[in-house]
């Protein structure tokens, strides 16, 4: 289904499709709904407060990053939006987006701001630095009258901070990142602290993410992990033809940037190949032609003929790619708060070899779902890969345990936990609703 887009980027006040219901209309069935936040009592278990007598909420999910450009945070938001809608809630996504309407599929979203690529911890973050978003954001918030505004990476410029400064409903922030340190947080802490204190609820996706943000903003955080679609990623899929071939295969999925550690995997594979010459290395992810050429040249220099660069894959093809591999490898050197690709591989019934780093240790347990090795240690990485490729019983045992563990992270479970957290926040938060705006003109 094509996603309906409300275009409120800078320089455009035209709504391409009238997707926002008039104030007072329930989007699910045209039933008038009061939008003020009021407490109407607690259910017997004491856990859930109703919002204006309803069991559903009006929810805004705010992305700091270009949507739907591939990335862990944007994929998290898309999956969460889908799960919340399936549970009967009304969801809108506020985001910067470089994609055209025809390229976007799924939930309704507002496009805000132009995209720039800003250096961020050794990568290029696709965010908006547009400064004129305040009026547009205020109009959206007044029109939509959200019960909960859920901002992902709430302290990043400029869209998250703008929404955070203007939201009058309950505000939840999710912190996804992990780094050893942050110059942005360190230098900006005096100003960012005021914004941080506007959050009514704080989520971290892992213990690593919690420890990272707590260094700069000490507070209470609830850990709710990333999720995985275990109906999409599963062991029984037909192999992807482009990933087919004779011999066992190792799969890498990710961008070819330094912190993902692909160069270490390539050099480790140079140690694996002479001992298991039929082994193939499959490389999938959102990398460009320049990255492909650079690493293909390096592979050739290392004498590696069985390296296949698959590039970006659709979600169904990515799932089939996991099903095509014998071992999944994530050799990142750091900067990983969780490791969604680990979950995808585990859900696909594939044993994992990954770096022993914070974030990854929250997902994979050494010797249970996979093998963890010291980051950057190419010999240890090669030995772990050889051990799995040479021992089918070990592969099967780790794969079975990984699939079982991944089921606990299924998006249905994660969405339910997030929903429960919203109700918890609403139970303790009572902000006055923004004044109603005039219904949008068609």
Structure confidence by residue, pLDDT tens digits, 223-275 = 999 999 999 999 999 999 999 888 999 999 999 989 999 999 999 999 999 99
| For residue 396, pLDDT beyond 50 | yes
Euclidean distance between CA atoms 204 and 211, whole angstroms = 9
Q: Residues near 142 by Cβ (< 8 Å), separated by ≥ 6? A: 434, 435, 436, 437
Average pLDDT over residues 30-57: 43
Question: Is there a single domain that holds both residue 340 and residue 377?
Answer: yes
Q: Residues near 375 by Cβ (< 8 Å), separated by ≥ 6? A: 261, 264, 331, 332, 333, 334, 355, 356, 357
Q: What is the pLDDT of residue 120?
A: 67
Q: How many domains does the chain have?
A: 2
Residue 436 forms part of a structural domain: no
Going 367 to 369 to 370 to 373, the CA torsion angle's sign is negative
Q: What is the pLDDT of residue 18?
A: 28
CB atoms within 10 A of CB 207: 18
Name the average pLDDT for the chain: 85
Question: Is there a single domain that holds both residue 358 and residue 415?
Answer: no
CA atoms within 13 A on the CB side of 8: 23
Question: Is there a single domain that holds both residue 92 and residue 214?
Answer: yes
Residue 208 forms part of a structural domain: yes
Q: What is the pLDDT of residue 391?
A: 98
Question: Is there a single domain that holds both residue 246 and residue 305?
Answer: yes
Residue 442 forms part of a structural domain: no
What values do phi and psi take at 311, rounded to 5? 75, -160
| For residue 440, pLDDT beyond 80 | no
- The answer to whether residues 415 and 84 touch, using CB atoms and an 8 Å cutoff, is yes
Residue 148 forms part of a structural domain: yes
Model pTM score? 0.81
Question: Is there a single domain that holds both residue 179 and residue 264?
Answer: no
Which helix (H) or strand (E) segment is 208 a member of?
helix 207-214
Q: What is the pLDDT of residue 121?
A: 59
Question: Is there a single domain that holds both residue 119 and residue 252?
Answer: no
| Residue 348 token pair | 């696909």
3-state class (DSSP) for residue 436: coil
Residue 234 forms part of a structural domain: no
Euclidean distance between CA atoms 124 and 267, whole angstroms = 25
3-state class (DSSP) for residue 273: coil
Question: Is there a single domain that holds both residue 43 and residue 11?
Answer: yes
Q: What is the pLDDT of residue 152?
A: 98
At 17, the pLDDT band (50, 70, 90 cuts) reads very low
Q: Give burial (CB, 10 Å; 0-12/13-18/19+) of 101.
A: middle
- CATH number of the domain to which 356 belongs: 3.40.50.2000
Of residues 399 and 429, which shows the higher confidence score?
399
- The answer to whether residues 112 and 159 touch, using CB atoms and an 8 Å cutoff, is yes
Euclidean distance between CA atoms 347 and 360, whole angstroms = 15
Average pLDDT over residues 312-320: 96
Question: Is there a single domain that holds both residue 204 and residue 80?
Answer: yes
- The answer to whether residues 179 and 207 touch, using CB atoms and an 8 Å cutoff, is no
- The answer to whether residues 75 and 63 touch, using CB atoms and an 8 Å cutoff, is no
Closest CA relative to residue 112, chosen from 155, 72, 73, 61: 61
Range of the domain at 208: 5-227+411-428
Residue 35 forms part of a structural domain: yes
Q: What is the pLDDT of residue 429?
A: 83
Question: Is there a single domain that holds both residue 194 and residue 246?
Answer: no
Question: Is there a single domain that holds both residue 25 and residue 116?
Answer: yes
- The answer to whether residues 262 and 252 touch, using CB atoms and an 8 Å cutoff, is yes
Question: Is there a single domain that holds both residue 210 and residue 246?
Answer: no
Residue 361 forms part of a structural domain: yes
Question: Which pLDDT tens digit goes with each residue over 61-77?
Answer: 999 999 877 788 999 99
Question: Which pLDDT tens digit goes with each residue over 94-137?
Answer: 999 887 554 555 448 899 988 888 776 556 778 898 888 999 99
Which residue is associated with the tokens 């630095």?
Answer: 129
Euclidean distance between CA atoms 227 and 313, whole angstroms = 20
Question: Is there a single domain that holds both residue 196 and residue 295?
Answer: no
Q: Is the omega angle on the peptide bond into residue 121 within 30 degrees of 0, that is, cis?
A: no
Q: Please report, in angstroms and rounded to a whole number, the separation of the first and last CA atoms in the chain.
A: 22
Residue 356 forms part of a structural domain: yes
Q: Find how far residue 252's CA is from the centre of its chain.
A: 18
- Nearest-5° Cα angle at 196, 339 to 48: 75
| For residue 16, pLDDT beyond 90 | no
């Amino acid at each position: 289904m094509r996603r309906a887009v409300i275009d409120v980027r800078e320089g455009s006040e035209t709504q391409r499709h009238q997707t926002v219901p008039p104030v007072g209309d329930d989007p699910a069935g045209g039933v008038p709904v009061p939008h003020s936040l009021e407490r109407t009592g607690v259910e017997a278990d004491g856990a859930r407060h109703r919002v204006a007598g309803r069991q559903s909420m009006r929810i805004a999910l705010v992305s700091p990053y270009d949507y739907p450009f591939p990335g862990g945070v944007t994929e998290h938001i898309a999956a969460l939006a889908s799960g919340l809608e399936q549970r009967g809630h009304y969801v809108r996504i506020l985001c910067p987006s470089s994609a055209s309407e025809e390229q976007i599929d799924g939930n309704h979203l507002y496009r805000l701001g132009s995209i720039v690529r800003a250096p961020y911890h050794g990568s290029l973050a696709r965010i908006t630095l547009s400064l004129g978003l305040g009026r547009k954001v205020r109009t959206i918030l007044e029109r939509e009258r959200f019960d909960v505004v859920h901002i992902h990476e709430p302290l990043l410029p400029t869209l998250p901070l703008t929404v955070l400064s203007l939201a009058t409903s309950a505000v939840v922030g999710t912190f996804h990142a992990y780094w050893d340190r942050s110059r942005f947080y360190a230098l900006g802490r005096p100003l960012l602290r005021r914004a941080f204190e506007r959050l009514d609820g704080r989520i971290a996706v892992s213990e690593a993410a919690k420890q990272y943000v707590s260094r700069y903003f000490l507070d209470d955080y609830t850990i709710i992990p990333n999720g995985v679609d275990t109906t999409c990623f599963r062991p029984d899929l037909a192999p992807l033809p482009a990933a087919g071939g004779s011999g066992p295969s190792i799969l890498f999925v990710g961008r070819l940037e330094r912190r993902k550690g692909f160069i270490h995997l390539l050099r480790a594979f140079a140690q694996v190949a002479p001992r298991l010459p039929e082994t193939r290395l499959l490389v999938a992810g959102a990398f460009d032609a320049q990255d492909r050429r650079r690493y293909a040249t390096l592979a050739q220099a290392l004498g590696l003929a069985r390296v296949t660069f698959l590039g970006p894959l659709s979600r169904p093809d990515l799932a089939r790619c996991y099903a095509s591999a014998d071992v999944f490898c994530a050799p990142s050197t750091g900067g990983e708060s969780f490791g969604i690709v680990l979950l995808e591989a585990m859900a696909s019934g594939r044993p994992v070899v990954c770096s022993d780093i914070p974030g990854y240790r929250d997902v994979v347990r050494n010797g249970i779902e996979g093998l963890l090795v010291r980051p950057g240690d190419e010999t240890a990485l090669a030995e772990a890969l050889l051990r799995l490729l040479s021992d089918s019983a070990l592969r099967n045992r780790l794969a079975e345990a990984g699939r079982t563990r991944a089921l606990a992270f299924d998006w249905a479970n994660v969405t339910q936990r997030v929903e429960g957290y919203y109700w918890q926040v609403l139970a303790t938060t009572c902000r006055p609703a923004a004044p109603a705006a005039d219904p949008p003109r068609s």
